[in-house]
Amino acid sequence: MIKTRIGAVLLAAGLLGATPALAQTKVGSVDTTFRLLGANDRVVIDRYDDPDVPNVSCYVSHAATGGVSGSLGLAEDPSRFSIACRATGPVAWPEKLPDKQRVFSQALSVFFKHLEVYRLLDREKKVVLYLVISSRLKEGSPFNSISAVATTPTAP
């Protein structure tokens, strides 16, 4: 069901001219709350490979609501997530990329709530930063998590 929702969101994003999506791979999930009817609540871990920065993979964990509404794709998933990005090989400094760019968006509810991953560049330290937020404000500020990947120094 989650892959169906993600596929629909990616298709809609493509039709609306959104930023490019990262390649997603589901790594796994862990059940957190037993539900008598429908799927259990769980924490899902997905991997996203940045298409514009080779050898960077980001692992995002997020809560997924189960039960009948979750199984039907109607539940609003909580804004609880974490991100950890790692270099899986040498990472070249991405000179020609903008300082800030949304690189992925995934629906957390049927309407108006998305998990969004932004790439930011620290040009002074040559570090690529990834920020995950919820597009819906909760009590004045979005939940967020950040990860940093150092680039491989080049010879002078």
Pairing of strands 41-49, 23-33: antiparallel
- Other CB atoms within a 10 A radius of the CB of residue 62 amount to 22
Looking at residues 28-52, what average pLDDT do you find? 83
Give the span between the Cα atoms of 77 and 123, in whole angstroms.
35
Domain boundaries, the chain: 2-150
Q: Which residues pair with 106 in a beta bridge?
A: 115
Q: pLDDT, tens digit, for every residue of 76-100?
A: 556 678 899 999 999 999 989 999 9
Give the span between the Cα atoms of 116 and 76, in whole angstroms.
15
pLDDT-wise least confident of 25-34, 69-78, 96-105: 69-78
Read off the tokens for 47. 């991997």
Tell me which residue has tokens 């509810």: 109
Q: pLDDT, tens digit, for every residue of 130-148?
A: 998 877 655 555 788 899 9
- Other CB atoms within a 10 A radius of the CB of residue 93 amount to 16
Looking at residues 94-108, what average pLDDT do you find? 86
Longest Cα pair distance anywhere in the chain, in angstroms? 62
Give the span between the Cα atoms of 58 and 104, in whole angstroms.
11
**Confidence check: pLDDT of 117 > 70:** yes
**Is the sign of the CA dihedral 127, 132, 136, 139 positive or negative?**
negative
Q: How confident is the model at residue 22 (pLDDT cuts 50, 70, 90)?
A: very low
Pairing of strands 41-49, 56-64: antiparallel
Give the ranges where 41-119 is alpha helix by DSSP (H). Answer: 67-71
